[in-house]
Amino acid sequence: MNDKDCVAFLQWALPKLHFRWEGFRRVRAQVCKRIHRRMQGLGLEGQGDYRQYLEGHADEWLKLDDLTRVTISRFYRDKAMFAFLEQEVLPELARRAGARGDRRLKALSLGCGSGEEPYTIALLWMLRIASQFWDLGLELDAIDADPHMLSRAKEARYEYGTVKNLPEELLQEGFVSREGLFELKPEFKRMVRFIQKDVRLELPAKTYDLVLCRNLVFTYYDEALQARLLDTISAVIKADGVLVIGIHEDLPKTMHDMQAWSDRLRIYRKPG
């Protein structure tokens, strides 16, 4: 299946899964390769044949949903955003948690992939922030629907291209080099609890000071699903808590109570 055929197929299929074609335009190569391999495995010749197969096999839509997962990530992705979290957001949330008498600051990473985002938060907390709040711990939950990605996250072994954006101090103090890979030290691995969940179906039954939902819901899902999930996500954010979305994303054009802390960096507060 060539690129033109794959584009035509995705523009037909994605809306049926409540996805937005616009979100996949630049990253479609990864998805197209998976779909092509699936078609070969089924003995199908072209995208027209796969359409017919989908229309005759309802369970194949679940397989296609799995094939659409985009797994591109890296540590310290969007440097300005992580710098703002370190300098402004996390210290402010920590002060509020301390004032409430909380013993833990709670954070949630949605669509965590192979762990780069929550581990970045763990590194920032332990190496840059924790010394200012000696009586406060950080509780980090990270969810993803893909068990293979979660397995990689728990191993926490990465190629240089995945960690190269980290500040040198965090890279040197957070990792050991083994067999040409960068392995996260155990004390940082222990900080993150990985959970297999699909954000469309369920979130952990607790509330959080900080929720990161970057480059997932507000990139790939259609506006109706975005609006529904924003309500679901808002429900697990504490009053005065913070939501972070991708810097190229926008919240859906529906009524919501999020107030911009940094509109440029797409960081929002939930009113208290």
**pLDDT (average), residues 21-48:** 94
Q: What is the pTM of this model?
A: 0.95
Predicted local distance difference test score (pLDDT) of residue 235: 96
CATH class of the 79-269 domain in this structure = alpha beta
Beta bridge partners of 109: 142, 212
Q: Find the angle CA(221)-CA(251)-CA(263) to the nearest 5 degrees.
A: 140
Predicted local distance difference test score (pLDDT) of residue 117: 98
Render pLDDT for 12-21 as a digit per residue (tens, 0 to 9).
999 999 999 9
Render pLDDT for 208-229 as a digit per residue (tens, 0 to 9).
999 999 999 999 999 999 999 9
